[in-house]
Structure 1
Amino acid sequence: MTIRVLHVAAELYPLLKTGGLADVVGALPPVLAPLGADARVIMPGFPAVLAGLEDLRPVAHTGPRFGLQDIALEFGRLRTNGTGLYVIRADAFYGRPGSPYLDAAHHPYADNNRRFALLGWAASLIAQGADPDWTPALVHAHDWHAGLAAPYIRAAEAAQRRRIAATVMTVHNLAYQGLFPASTFGELGLPAPYYQMQGMEFWGQVSYLKAGLFYSDKITTVSPTYANEIQTLAQGAGLDGLLRERAHDVLGILNGVDYAVWHPSTDPSIAAPYWAEDMDGKAACKRALQQRFGIAAKPDAPIFGVVSRLTEQKGLDLLLAALSEIVERGGQLVVLGTGEPRLEAGLKQAALAHPESVAIELGFDEALAHVIVAGSDVVCVPSRFEPCGLTQLYGLAYGALPLVHGVGGLADTVVDASLENLADGIATGFVFEKFDLASLTRAVKRVFALHARPDEWNATRRHGMKSNFGWEASALRYVDLYQRLVPDA
């Protein structure tokens, strides 16, 4: 029989994306369908989301809640692949231009606590039968924005004395926890006992992520290594104790790549198609990238590409410190991203100092991200910590060898180009284990050493391109989890 699953999230590619969360939520529901899971998604009615749907129909009106007089739930389907999507129509909360989370001054919206409490609460209404034509047996929440889905469902179960739905909470990044003042708890309409240490209280604040971790039946995260790391003091972000207590409920399932979107043989965004056995188009993509960013058209200069939020978490401060090693050895660096002003300024200064070798574009552009990955020889993901990472997987698919710090999903997906691994034909990139400048610099030197041996470089690149990190294997693990939680479905 088919298991009905409701995914709860704030982002979904191609409608709205600020990071890898959107790629996951966009790719997972369609691949679940052939495996016996009828998956739909519920999201806030952001303008970009509404614009990407067709056949919208009303499902329910909720009446007053969170200071709003009327909230509508509507259902439609993505124009791209037909995925079913519930949207919460609350224009006072969601009808704002720009970022879904930040105002024009790049500060979190003051009412984010209510905006995303509404997301979790609306998901609980769907689970209780708000849509008479479709009721999920399982609710799968993604990151802190959806963290209140599980406590709202648990509270409804207690009030109604019946089982409503199984719940799964997926952590895409434990560092982002949805913390709000304790005074805001009263706005949520949850039972008073939910605000305690054995609940959603976190050092005198309300934590939406902790709420999801505490009240969900199972917890998943986006790579096996990260599932272990978040149970340690070093990477547990203050929640390691809770996660260790629930260790038997924590599961790491690696994110996948949607190769219908990310594959150089079919990508409409890049200068020329290519694939593992015919790499001629890669050179054209490299020339196009150099021209696009105005750096020197040097076919033999290895290009190091970065598509990332510009934050210390992503290790861009370390990469900036190692930039002289790249430039002095004849390499080039191309960066697309936005983030911390200090890092933006440092990269801008480097581009001014080395205009033929370094270029940066602030912001995010999905098509340009494809252009960078296709044209680069190396993609850099030197993160301090990385739950999964998708950029290194895109790099593998496009023959851009990943240069990564050996943590989280980076450790699970990139095989270091050590002498032994090169000899065995299993190397796919460059991994440095210790997060410091000396270790990254040694890895950069190894990039240039391998690049100077074209046969070994090309063999490593081909092996990486033949790696398969599609969603099929991960989707099977999710379906297995769903079936264990809803055995009667």
Structure 2
Amino acid sequence: MKILILSSEVTPLIKAGGLGDVTGSLPKALVKQYDLDIIIMIPKYKSFDDKKNPNQKIISKFEITLPSGEKYFIDVYKTPLPQTNISVYMIDMPKFFNGDGVYSHHPEINNIQWVNFSKAALDLLKKINFQPDVIHIQFSTMGLVPKWLKTIYKNDPFYQKIATLTTLHNMTNSGKIDFANVDLTGLKMKDYQELREITGDSAISIAGEAINNSDMFNTVSPTCVKETLTEKFDLILNKIILKNKNRFTGILNGIDYSSFDPRVSPDVPVKYWIDSLDKKNENKLYLQKKFGLTQNPDSPLICAVTRISRQKGLLLIDKIMDEIMDMGAQFIILGSGEDSIEKLFIKAEKKNPQMISAQMTFDEHLAQTIYAGADILLMPSQSETCGLSQIIAMRFGTVPVVRSTGGLADTVIDGKTGFVFNDYDEKSLLASTRQAVSIFYNHKDDWRKIQIEGMRKDFSWNISAEKYIQLYEKVIKHHNSECK
């Protein structure tokens, strides 16, 4: 079976969040267990550090036709995904990917650049003569690919047998493009009429088109599927998902435990495991010193390692910050994103610099150092398709406090591997945080049991990889039946 994975990021080559971890680890698990031929395609970003990737080589320079009709030359680089034989193709389109990061802060510009990348990726398949059985779209704003295969490419024998699977990692991003820019998508207004009648929307929904035209689509936790079919995360996507619910499923994300292991991680100052959990205190002291916090191993150190956005529940954390300080706890936050929310935590740090540290950047190495030294992780997300931070935290013996939504509900067991609350409000978050801190202070044996139970949980990719193989087979079967 041949698989093309389309993504915006892949760890360790380029990462902005959890999607990079998934794209970097799922293919490794798949080829380890099954006889698959997998390639990955991502953009070659301006921020890509060539010095850290000496194995890359340019393999082609050729002209494509963008969806707008414009002729455009692309350079294509090829590099192995570290520790695998999987090839990663990086498409260099500097006209569209010229920012300092992975994602633009201008949504429509961001969406149009992904439309152009998607077209380049499809054309590249023919250039390198790789004819996949399945295109697995890991970033839904590349979601015009399934529609193009049914329209622009439908009479080309090279593309006719290709099935498509779209994985939804973010249920709130429909990837809108105004109908005034329809020509930039390579299609006409009439081609979008079906979804327009369903949603009544005045814009193209790229993610909606992916859902409507993919052979199958999934999200990254079973609970998220249930929530999506009953709650309106995004009014437009909800209607489209309900229309196509028979082709919708949920597969829980995993992590690559070889990349998240406090016994060997170079980012953990003092290595430890279940039989040496007391050494977490040495990592705590290291963090306290590094960030100028009062050095006290007996103070509970609470952390948040996250994308900075409202969806992550960070406004709730800000509202209970004074109460956290009253508990004698310290707080470290690591992440980047919405400027207004970043400023709230920077302000909190200035108010109480010996108890609060706001690291408004993304640094995956520092993240592991924080997981190793922290006692508690706060993750009060408004919605969460899966979430990886709570899984990583448990592996490091850092106890998660989470809201019961999506993958958080599927991975954290209240009172056994962490603390779970239901309502999205500061009162509920505060109650669970107080419960965690109370057990940390007053019931050391119970605290240790919770840590160990979380560390022993298996969220590796082994089970989920098998489910993806089964899903690929269903996708191919569905496509073949549709083509008859």
Q: TM-score, normalised by structure 1?
A: 0.91
Q: Larger deviation: 475-484 or 156-165? A: 156-165
Please list the CA deviations of residues 253-282 of structure 1 after superposition, one character each: whole Å capped at 9, or x if unmatched.
Answer: 011111111111111011111111221331
Is the counterpart of residue 457 in structure 1 residue 430 in structure 2?
Answer: no
Q: Larger deviation: 169-178 or 72-81? A: 72-81
Partner of 1:421: none
Deviation at 1:54, TM superposition (A): 2.4
Give the whole-Å Cα distance in 1 for the aligned partners of 2:406 and 2:216. Answer: 20
Please list the CA deviations of residues 293-342 of structure 1 after superposition, one character each: whole Å capped at 9, or x if unmatched.
Answer: 11111111111111112221100110111122211111111111223333
Partner of 1:143: 139
Q: Percent identity over the alignment?
A: 29
Partner of 1:420: none
Q: 1:49 to 1:477 in 2, by over 3 A?
A: farther
**Structure 1 counterpart of 2:277, from 273, 276, 279:** 279
Partner of 1:91: 94
Q: Aligned runs of 1:94-133 on 2, under 5 Å?
A: 94=97, 96-102=98-104, 107-108=105-106, 111-127=109-125, 129-132=126-129
**Structure 2 counterpart of 1:212, from 200, 205, 210:** 210
Give the whole-Å Cα distance in 2 for the aligned partners of 1:55 and 1:307. Answer: 31
Q: Aligned runs of 1:286-305 on 2, under 5 Å?
A: 286-305=284-303
Letter aligned with residue 89 of structure 1: D
Please list the CA deviations of residues 404-438 of structure 1 after superposition, one character each: whole Å capped at 9, or x if unmatched.
Answer: 00000000000001xxxxxxxxx000101111122
Q: 1:354 to 1:49 in 2, by over 3 A?
A: closer
Deviation at 1:117, TM superposition (A): 1.0
Question: Secondary structure of the equivalent of 1:71?
Answer: strand
Please list the CA deviations of residues 430-484 of structure 1 after superposition, one character each: whole Å capped at 9, or x if unmatched.
Answer: 1011111221111111112211200110011011001110011111100111122
Partner of 1:354: 352
Partner of 1:472: 462
* Alignment check: 8 A CA contact 1:60 1:74 kept: no
Is the counterpart of residue 14 in structure 1 residue 12 in structure 2?
Answer: yes
Partner of 1:482: 472
Q: Larger deviation: 74-83 or 396-405? A: 74-83
Give the whole-Å Cα distance in 1 for the aligned partners of 2:100 and 2:84. Answer: 25
Q: Aligned runs of 1:145-160 on 2, under 5 Å?
A: 145-160=141-156
* Alignment check: 8 A CA contact 1:149 1:212 kept: yes
* Alignment check: 8 A CA contact 1:37 1:479 kept: no
* Alignment check: 8 A CA contact 2:46 2:100 kept: no
Partner of 2:169: 172
Partner of 1:71: 74
* Alignment check: 8 A CA contact 2:140 2:166 kept: no
Structure 1, unaligned runs of 5 or more: 418-426
* Alignment check: 8 A CA contact 1:126 1:135 kept: no
Question: Secondary structure of the equivalent of 1:70?
Answer: strand
Please list the CA deviations of residues 152-184 of structure 1 after superposition, one character each: whole Å capped at 9, or x if unmatched.
Answer: 222245333773301000000011222121111
Give the whole-Å Cα distance in 2 for the aligned partners of 1:340 and 1:57. Answer: 36
Partner of 2:59: 58
Question: Secondary structure of the equivalent of 2:151?
Answer: helix
Q: Count residues with an aligned counterpart.
A: 471
Deviation at 1:380, TM superposition (A): 0.9
Normalized per residue, which structure has more helix? 2
Q: 1:22 to 1:455 in 2, by over 3 A?
A: same
Partner of 2:26: 28
Q: 1:429 to 1:89 in 2, by over 3 A?
A: same
**Structure 2 counterpart of 1:444, from 433, 445, 451:** 433
Give the whole-Å Cα distance in 2 for the aligned partners of 1:333 and 1:244. Answer: 41
Question: Secondary structure of the equivalent of 2:276?
Answer: coil
Deviation at 1:137, TM superposition (A): 0.8
Give the whole-Å Cα distance in 2 for the aligned partners of 1:50 and 1:136. Answer: 29
* Alignment check: 8 A CA contact 1:283 1:375 kept: yes
* Alignment check: 8 A CA contact 1:384 1:435 kept: yes
Give the whole-Å Cα distance in 1 for the aligned partners of 2:131 and 2:266. Answer: 38
* Alignment check: 8 A CA contact 2:397 2:451 kept: yes
Letter aligned with residue 158 of structure 1: K
Deviation at 1:48, TM superposition (A): 4.7
* Alignment check: 8 A CA contact 1:157 1:164 kept: no
Q: Aligned runs of 1:186-201 on 2, under 5 Å?
A: 186-190=183-187, 192-198=189-195
Question: Secondary structure of the equivalent of 1:93?
Answer: coil
Q: 1:302 to 1:241 in 2, by over 3 A?
A: same
Give the whole-Å Cα distance in 2 for the aligned partners of 1:145 and 1:241. Answer: 18
Q: 1:339 to 1:111 in 2, by over 3 A?
A: closer
* Alignment check: 8 A CA contact 1:385 1:408 kept: yes
Q: 1:114 to 1:436 in 2, by over 3 A?
A: closer
Letter aligned with residue 216 of structure 2: K
